[in-house]
Structure 1
Amino acid sequence: MFKFLKKKIKGGGSSSDRYLKLKIKEVRKETEDTNTLIFEQPEQGFTYLPGQFLTLILPIQNEKIRRSYSLCTSPHTDACPSITVKRVNTGLVSNYLNDHMKPGDEFEVMTAAGHFVPELNPENKKKYVFFAAGSGITPIMSIIKSVLAVEQQSSIHLVYQNRSESAVIFKEELRRLKEAYPGRFDQIDVLSQAQGDWQGYSGRLDGAMTSDILMDIAGNKVNGSEYYLCGPAAFMQTVYDVLMDFDVPARQVHKESFFADNAAARKETPLEAGTGDEAHLVHIILDGEEFEVNVPANKSILEAALDQHIDMPFSCQSGLCTACRGKLLEGDVEMSDDDGLSQEELRQGYILNCVSKPTGPGVKIEIG
């Protein structure tokens, strides 16, 4: 049996503040397997930051399925928020969204979340270098448009890996940005299956190619730029390793863990069951209320809380999207996977509840 206690904390919000309905205004085809869903601006307004994501809650096969998709629009330049969805062959939600969504359709979402967000300042004079692969361009597109609009003295280089020219998402929009911001925005394409008279980089981005591109962009000042990476884990690790070889400070490298809609197939490392049947009491602060829940040795903190019908935020349940992020205020936990968190977040005590379990008593976590 779970022990359950709930008490109000002064100044808290409510779970209803985390949810809203969005209605599709337009569906725009980007590539053969990718669509952008453009939403109407809801009456109560919708706020988000560049680089954040939405968690969609969709009624599919008599279940409420959650998936997170990055916003590809900028709050500084776009009237309507949008997400871009690339079809995954075995992806339940990506196929549903690409096959069935039409203008007028409405569904529930959680408010925008995520920490892949730049600290924009009109006074900044920075050089940004973005590395994106495939649909990893979506949060980066949001940030690029925001930087160009807000930081008039900053410049941007985008290194974009795709299979072929026809697979380039936002191809025309990126071309228009390059024309609108000459000298401030440059795009370097890398095609793994280049055809015809392609003159750019060919093959998969590896360490040597990354080094060459960085030298072309920055010469001997590679460590003076701000870097944002989004794509599959191996892609980001390749770029990250090269940046470390160039002595780029880790605080200047920002990663958004990319996972496909079939991430359910990527099971997290099983949580160890412990040496017996012990459970530990965890205090969870959520929307201004404090909950107590006994977490069994074979359950994650998120699983135990959901079993007790606590309305915890979550999406991927594999330690990547960070929707379930919380700050460890007291006690100790074990995380089986921390790839979704930056080194700074780890230093500040943030954990991912979907892949964490308490290792002893006295654990207290604030969600958000």
Structure 2
Amino acid sequence: MYALRIAKIIPQPNNNITFQLESTDGGYPPYKAGQFITLSFMFGDREVRRSYSLNSSPDYNEPLSITVKRVENGEISRLLHHTISEGDIVQAMEPQGLFIYEPEQYKVRTLFLFAAGIGITPLYSILKTALLVEEKSKVVLVYSNRSADQAPFREELEEWAKRFPDRLTIVWIYSNSKYLMKARLNRDYILSIVKDHLVGPKEDALCYTCGPVIYMDLCRFTLLGMGFDTNQIKRETFLLPENEEDDDDETEKVIDTTSYQIKLHFQDETYALEIPYNKSILDVGLEHKIKLPYSCRSGMCSTCIAQCSKGKVRMDYNEVLTDREMENGRILLCTGHPLEHGTEIEVL
């Protein structure tokens, strides 16, 4: 854990606040552009963790920063927006996440960044790293908001565009626009943006998306249809998708209510656990006071990746692991449920 001091609180449009953080011992935790940091809060004996993408860049001389949207009835959101003050200390875990950008100084490529609302936070970090470290790449930010006055970092982004006029293009999309064809991102709009701004080999381009699931699916399916490879398209999810189930599906759902015995290997210790059907492996591990790594608890952040070395595990939700990784036994503890007695899991 890192003890970080709230150095500055900066109001942002649309109920967002940026928190600049400083180390209490003179050093920042190392991180990569696009990663998130998890804050830990104790309420008596109860620990609550929340993850926030870093909008600061490790390649720019600026404070470690996160931006938090006010969420109605959000326990930690309310705390950060209404209680935390400059000078307060918060506990943070190591920065994590696979939604990262690895810059290559002399690479000639186009970097397409698709952001909706507060989804700009990790993409702002990536944008700065790409412009500062690389010399020949072109960055195209496609940024959707309700209106210009509700777009976080609008003035800062305009300054970056002035600083790098030949390498940064920003496509501002406002849903209150009277020009309805370009008031929202759509398939044809994506096609025209890529056609107009792609430089360098198409196979070298990278596409990052961050926003609502439907928004990211639109980007992904359109880009795949244009011939981009799946490895060129990356996404970061903040919230679980809603209404995943088909209300018209009347197929009888068969629920396995068996409790399975497993072995959990973690930090040179082996734990024999019984996992009931309605609890995840992470849930039971934490109940046994095992200090397992976790953050989002919803299958979206990669913190709790583990290896199933024996038996089988199903996951309720997964936004992180690829099909190949799952075929090779990778699982997420937070949404994972064993399907066989004797299942063995190695925490990575």
Q: What TM-score, normalized by structure 1, do the two folds share?
A: 0.83
Q: Could you tell me whether the CA contact under 8 Å between 1:193 and 1:202 is conserved in 2?
A: no
Q: Distance in 1 between matches of 2:141 and 2:180?
A: 14
Q: Could you say which residue in structure 2 is the equivalent of 1:156?
A: 139
Q: Could you say which residue in structure 2 is the equivalent of 1:9?
A: none
Unaligned 5+ residue runs, structure 2?
Answer: 246-252
* 2:121 alignment partner, one of 124, 138, 144: 138
Q: Could you tell me whether the CA contact under 8 Å between 2:110 and 2:199 is conserved in 1?
A: no
Q: Distance in 2 between matches of 1:99 and 1:43?
A: 27
Query: By how many angstroms is 1:283 displaced?
Result: 2.0
Q: Could you tell me whether the CA contact under 8 Å between 2:298 and 2:335 is conserved in 1?
A: yes
Partner letter of residue 289 of structure 2? H
Q: Could you say which residue in structure 1 is the equivalent of 2:249?
A: none
Partner letter of residue 282 of structure 1? K
1:120 matches 2:120? no
Give deviations 1:215-238, integer Å, cap 9, x for gaps: 222399755521111111111001
Give deviations 1:305-332, integer Å, cap 9, x for gaps: 1111111222332222333222334432
Matches within 5 A, 1:29-44: 29-43=11-25
**CA pair 219-209 structure 1, distance change in 2 beyond 3 A:** farther
Partner letter of residue 279 of structure 1? Y
Q: Distance in 1 between matches of 2:201 and 2:180?
A: 23
Measured on the aligned residues, the alpha-carbon RMSD in Å equals 2.8
Q: Distance in 1 between matches of 2:109 and 2:230?
A: 16
Structure with higher RCO (Cα < 8 A, 6+ apart): 1
1:175 matches 2:134? no
Q: Could you tell me whether the CA contact under 8 Å between 1:281 and 1:294 is conserved in 2?
A: yes
Give deviations 1:116-169, integer Å, cap 9, x for gaps: 112222232221101011111111111111111211121110101111101111
Q: Could you say which residue in structure 1 is the equivalent of 2:265?
A: 284
* 2:31 alignment partner, one of 48, 72, 81: 48
**CA pair 282-191 structure 1, distance change in 2 beyond 3 A:** farther
Q: Could you tell me whether the CA contact under 8 Å between 1:254 and 1:342 is conserved in 2?
A: no
1:237 matches 2:217? yes
Q: Distance in 2 between matches of 1:102 and 1:183?
A: 40
Q: Distance in 1 between matches of 2:285 and 2:4?
A: 27
Query: By how many angstroms is 1:111 displaced?
Result: 1.1
Partner letter of residue 333 of structure 1? V
SS of the residue aligned with 2:78?
helix
SS of the residue aligned with 2:292?
coil
Q: Distance in 1 between matches of 2:263 and 2:243?
A: 24
Q: Distance in 2 between matches of 1:88 and 1:311?
A: 28
**CA pair 174-356 structure 1, distance change in 2 beyond 3 A:** same
Q: Distance in 2 between matches of 1:25 and 1:219?
A: 40
**CA pair 123-303 structure 1, distance change in 2 beyond 3 A:** same
1:317 matches 2:297? yes
* 2:66 alignment partner, one of 77, 83, 88: 83
Q: What TM-score, normalized by structure 2, do the two folds share?
A: 0.88
Partner letter of residue 63 of structure 2? C
Q: Could you say which residue in structure 2 is the equivalent of 1:217?
A: 197
Query: By how many angstroms is 1:107 displaced?
Result: 1.5
Q: Could you say which residue in structure 2 is the equivalent of 1:340?
A: 320
Query: By how many angstroms is 1:343 displaced?
Result: 4.9
Q: Distance in 2 between matches of 1:200 and 1:290?
A: 59
Matches within 5 A, 1:249-260: 249-259=229-239
Q: Distance in 2 between matches of 1:194 and 1:90?
A: 31
Query: By how many angstroms is 1:364 displaced?
Result: 3.5
Query: By how many angstroms is 1:209 displaced?
Result: 2.4
Q: Distance in 1 between matches of 2:69 and 2:337?
A: 33
Q: Could you say which residue in structure 2 is the equivalent of 1:299?
A: 279
**CA pair 229-344 structure 1, distance change in 2 beyond 3 A:** farther
Q: Could you tell me whether the CA contact under 8 Å between 1:20 and 1:109 is conserved in 2?
A: yes
Q: Distance in 2 between matches of 1:85 and 1:128?
A: 25
Give deviations 1:231-276, integer Å, cap 9, x for gaps: 11111001101011111100111111122xxx6x97999x9752x5
Unaligned 5+ residue runs, structure 1?
Answer: 1-18
**CA pair 306-223 structure 1, distance change in 2 beyond 3 A:** same
Size of the alignment, in residue pairs?
340
Q: Could you tell me whether the CA contact under 8 Å between 2:110 and 2:137 is conserved in 1?
A: yes
Partner letter of residue 149 of structure 2? S
